[in-house]
């Protein structure tokens, strides 16, 4: 029997007012896999991420049609979308640090979930900062305001915060845009390990990053799903669409 997809879109279209940004998108993501999402700016990549964790709800005039499912359950039928958001960690391109200490940035969500034991919080903070490749740089100044860190460090702190509730799905939207290449590669090694315990959706403008990390890659263009296949096909000399070949090889985009 075929396993139920972890994430599934069924004919999803998305709109900001009268402007359509996703056009009848359908796909499925298996559990504990990495889906790479590539495409030029304004392809609808970030909107797709916002649909997955229902943060599109917060954008005035935005809506989507069709259906999106997590574990086979429609996200439009949820009585408490916040419960869904707790299960899905999200990192957007620019860091959004809470005006709290480094320690409390990571401990904030676990505290709200009722975890108050100091030892348990210490373990969560250290684990998440290590996963975000930040622990060695901040372990002696956890009381420092997170907003005092450099841009790249703040982005990694955002990643640590996204991991603090051990999400079942991790959505990364250009997570490495403010991070140096060496640190990016170290985080990529961590992501390869994390896929054993979670499903990862990786939106990236770095085509080779999708090639390194993803099991399958989706190519979005102008709100349309041009192609979704294994990396062996997408990055070959003969993907299904000529447009995919041209984008992956830098001919346009």
Q: Average pLDDT of the chain?
A: 93
At residue 141, the pLDDT reads 96
Q: Is the pLDDT score of 21 beyond 70?
A: yes
Is there a contact between 108 and 161 (Cβ–Cβ < 8 Å)?
yes
Q: Is the pLDDT score of 1 beyond 60?
A: no
Give residue 96's region: left, alpha or beta (phi > 0; psi -120 to 50): beta
At residue 2, the pLDDT reads 61
At residue 240, the pLDDT reads 95
At residue 252, the pLDDT reads 73
Count the alpha carbons within 13 Å of 165 in the hemisphere toward its beta carbon: 20
Task: Report the distance separating Cα 236 and Cα 245, nearest Å.
Answer: 8
pTM for this entry: 0.92
Task: Report the distance separating Cα 67 and Cα 192, nearest Å.
Answer: 29
Tens digit of pLDDT for each residue in 202-213?
999 999 999 999
At residue 253, the pLDDT reads 60
Q: Is the pLDDT score of 158 beyond 50?
A: yes
Closest listed residue to residue 42, CA positions, set 16, 24, 68 = 16
Is there a contact between 239 and 227 (Cβ–Cβ < 8 Å)?
yes
At residue 177, the pLDDT reads 82
At residue 185, the pLDDT reads 92
Domains in the chain, start-ordered, CATH in brackets?
7-248 (3.40.50.300)
- The residue whose two tokens read 């429609």 is 74
Closest listed residue to residue 36, CA positions, set 207, 160, 249 = 207
- C-alpha distances in angstroms, 101 versus 135, 142, 184? 14, 7, 24
Q: What are phi and psi of 34, to 5 degrees?
A: -115, 120
Q: Is the pLDDT score of 151 beyond 90?
A: no
Q: Is the pLDDT score of 214 beyond 60?
A: yes
């Amino acid at each position: 029997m075929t396993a139920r997809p972890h994430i599934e879109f069924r004919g999803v279209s998305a709109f900001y007012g009268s402007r359509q940004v996703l056009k009848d998108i359908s796909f499925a993501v298996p559990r504990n896999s990495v889906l790479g999402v590539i495409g030029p700016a304004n392809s609808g990549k970030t909107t797709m991420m916002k649909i997955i964790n229902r943060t599109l709800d917060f954008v005035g005039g935005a809506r989507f049609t069709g259906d999106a499912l997590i574990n086979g359950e429609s996200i439009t039928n949820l009585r408490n979308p916040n419960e869904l958001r707790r299960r899905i960690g999200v990192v957007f391109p620019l860091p959004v640090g809470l005006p709290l200490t480094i320690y409390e940035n990571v401990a904030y969500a676990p505290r709200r979930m009722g975890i108050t034991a100091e030892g348990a919080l210490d373990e969560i903070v250290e684990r998440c900062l290590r996963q975000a490749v930040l622990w060695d740089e901040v372990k002696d100044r956890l009381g420092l305001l997170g907003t005092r860190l450099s841009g790249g460090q703040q982005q990694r702190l955002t990643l640590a915060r996204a991991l603090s509730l051990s999400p079942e799905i991790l959505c990364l939207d250009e997570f490495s845009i403010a991070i140096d290449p060496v640190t990016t590669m170290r985080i990529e090694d961590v992501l390869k390990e994390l896929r054993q315990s979670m499903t990862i959706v990786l939106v990236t403008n770095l085509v080779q990053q999708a090639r390194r990390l993803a099991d399958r890659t989706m190519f979005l263009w102008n709100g349309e799903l041009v192609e979704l296949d294994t990396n062996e096909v997408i990055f070959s000399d003969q993907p299904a669409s000529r447009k995919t070949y041209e984008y992956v090889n830098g001919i346009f985009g």
